[in-house]
C-alpha cells in the first residue's frame, strides 16, 4: 500500500540546491555591506596617513593601506556601495524595458513582434563598453553611464520574456481573460507578468554580474567618478605595488570575484529551481521514496 506523496515546499526545494543557497548568501552579504557601508567603515574614505603607507593587514587596518596611507577596508566597503548602486540602476531600467518590450511583442505578435525583434537585434550590436567610454568623455562619469548600461542591457531579457509570452498566450486562462473582455494591458499585468517573473529573475541576476564587471572595468581605466570609491580604481592603484603590497589588489579583486560568483550562482540556482523538468524529476524521486516506505 502506498501513501500520499507530499510535494516539497518551495523552501525545501530551494535549500536543496547548493548553487542557489551559496549564490543567495554571497549576494546578500555584498548587498548588506553596500547598505551598511557607512556603519561598517565610518570616516572619510580618502583620508591619507603619512605614517601608515603600504601597511599590511593588521588590527587597525584589516585589509592594509595603500601608497597614500588610505585604509583599504574602507575603500572596499564603500566600493560595494558604488558597484551595487550601478547594478540596481541598470537592472531596474533593463527590467522595465525588457519586460514591456518582450511581453507586448509576444502577446501581440505580427508586425509589432517583428519591429520589436529588429530593435532588439539593433541594440545587441551596440558595443556597450566602448559606447560607455564615449559617454564618459561627453557627459562625465556617474549616472549617464548607469543609464547607458541600462538602455543597452535589456535585449536578452526581452527575448526570454517574448519566448515565454508566446507560450502563455496560447494557454486557456489567457483565452478566458480575452473572452471576459480583458484588454492587452490587463492580460499583461494580471496573467503574463506573474508567470514570466521567474525567468526574468534568472536573466536579471546574470545581468547584474555582467554590470559589476563593466563598472569595474571602466573604473580600472580611470573612467569612473574620482569622488567615490570603486573596486576597479582600487585595483588600478595597486598595479605598481603588486609585489610590495599584495593586499592592495587581492582584497578588491576578491570582492569583485565574490560578487560576480554570487550573482552567477544565484542565476544558475534560480534557473534550476524554476526548471519544470528539474521540479518534475524531484517530485518523482520524492514519490518513489514515499512509495517504498508505504
183: number of CA atoms within 13 Å, CB side? 1
Q: What is the pLDDT of residue 127?
A: 86
Q: What are the C-alpha distances in Å from 199 to residues 17, 98, 156, 206?
A: 17, 12, 11, 11
Residue 26, domain member (yes or no):
no
Q: Does 64 have pLDDT greater than 70?
A: yes
Separation of alpha carbons 187 and 286, rounded Å: 35
Separation of alpha carbons 181 and 175, rounded Å: 10
Least confident of 48-52, 71-75, 213-217, 272-276: 272-276
Residue 124, domain member (yes or no):
yes
CATH code of the domain containing 104 = 1.10.3720.10
Residues pairing with 65 in the sheet? 71
Q: What are the C-alpha distances in Å from 119 to residues 102, 126, 198?
A: 11, 11, 24
Say if residues 191 and 164 touch (Cβ distance below 8 Å): no
Residue 202, domain member (yes or no):
yes
The more confidently predicted of residues 3 and 95 is 95
Residue 183's domain comprises 89-293
- Percent of the chain as helix, strand, coil, to the nearest 5: 75, 0, 25
What's the pTM?
Answer: 0.84
Separation of alpha carbons 220 and 62, rounded Å: 23
Q: What are the C-alpha distances in Å from 99 to residues 171, 190, 191, 203?
A: 19, 14, 13, 11
Residues pairing with 71 in the sheet? 65
- Grade residue 43 by pLDDT with cuts at 50, 70 and 90: confident
| Number of folded domains that form the chain | 1
Q: What is the pLDDT of residue 10?
A: 64
Least confident of 23-27, 227-231, 258-262: 227-231
Share of residues in the chain with pLDDT > 90 (%) = 52
The more confidently predicted of residues 14 and 3 is 14
Q: What is the pLDDT of residue 8?
A: 59
Residue 129 corresponds to which cell in the numbers above?
Answer: 563598453
* Cα dihedral 59, 63, 69, 70 in deg (nearest 10): -110
Cα 174-175-177 angle, rounded to 5 deg:
65
The more confidently predicted of residues 273 and 278 is 273
Q: Does 267 have pLDDT greater than 50?
A: yes
- Grade residue 282 by pLDDT with cuts at 50, 70 and 90: very low
Say if residues 146 and 90 touch (Cβ distance below 8 Å): yes
Residue 71, domain member (yes or no):
no
Least confident of 28-37, 72-81, 169-178: 169-178
- Give the mean model confidence (pLDDT) for residues 132-151: 87
Mean of all residue pLDDT scores within the chain: 85
Phi, psi values for residue 190, rounded to 5°: -90, -30
Distance of CA 10 to the CA centre of its chain: 22
Separation of alpha carbons 203 and 201, rounded Å: 5
Residue 192 corresponds to which cell in the numbers above?
Answer: 503574463
Amino acid at each position: 500500500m502506498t501513501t500520499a506523496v507530499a510535494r516539497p515546499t518551495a523552501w525545501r526545494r530551494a535549500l536543496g540546491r547548493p548553487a542557489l543557497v551559496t549564490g543567495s548568501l554571497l549576494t546578500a552579504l555584498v548587498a548588506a555591506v553596500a547598505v551598511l557601508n557607512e556603519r561598517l567603515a565610518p570616516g572619510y574614505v580618502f583620508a591619507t596617513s603619512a605614517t601608515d603607507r603600504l601597511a599590511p593587514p593588521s588590527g587597525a587596518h584589516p585589509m592594509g593601506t595603500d601608497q597614500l596611507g588610505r585604509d583599504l577596508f574602507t575603500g572596499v566597503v564603500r566600493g560595494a556601495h558604488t558597484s551595487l548602486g550601478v547594478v540596481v540602476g541598470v537592472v531596474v531600467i533593463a527590467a522595465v524595458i525588457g519586460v514591456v518590450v518582450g511581453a507586448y511583442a509576444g502577446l501581440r505578435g505580427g508586425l509589432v513582434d517583428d519591429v520589436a525583434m529588429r530593435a532588439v537585434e539593433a541594440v545587441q550590436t551596440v558595443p556597450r563598453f566602448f559606447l560607455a567610454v564615449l559617454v564618459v568623455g561627453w557627459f562625465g562619469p556617474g549616472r549617464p553611464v548607469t543609464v547607458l548600461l541600462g538602455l543597452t542591457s535589456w535585449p536578452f531579457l526581452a527575448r526570454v520574456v517574448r519566448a515565454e509570452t508566446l507560450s502563455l498566450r496560447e494557454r486557456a486562462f489567457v483565452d478566458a481573460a480575452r473572452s471576459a473582455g480583458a484588454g492587452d494591458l490587463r492580460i499583461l499585468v494580471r496573467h503574463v507578468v506573474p508567470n514570466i517573473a521567474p525567468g526574468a529573475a534568472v536573466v536579471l541576476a546574470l545581468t547584474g554580474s555582467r554590470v559589476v564587471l563593466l563598472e569595474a572595468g571602466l573604473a580600472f581605466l580611470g573612467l569612473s567618478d574620482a569622488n567615490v570609491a570603486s573596486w576597479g580604481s582600487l585595483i588600478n592603484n595597486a598595479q605598481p605595488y603588486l609585489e610590495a603590497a599584495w593586499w592592495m589588489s587581492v582584497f578588491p579583486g576578491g570582492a569583485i570575484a565574490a560578487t560576480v560568483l554570487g550573482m552567477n550562482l544565484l542565476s544558475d540556482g534560480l534557473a534550476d529551481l524554476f526548471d519544470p523538468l528539474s521540479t518534475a524529476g524531484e517530485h518523482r524521486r520524492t514519490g518513489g521514496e514515499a512509495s517504498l516506505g508505504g
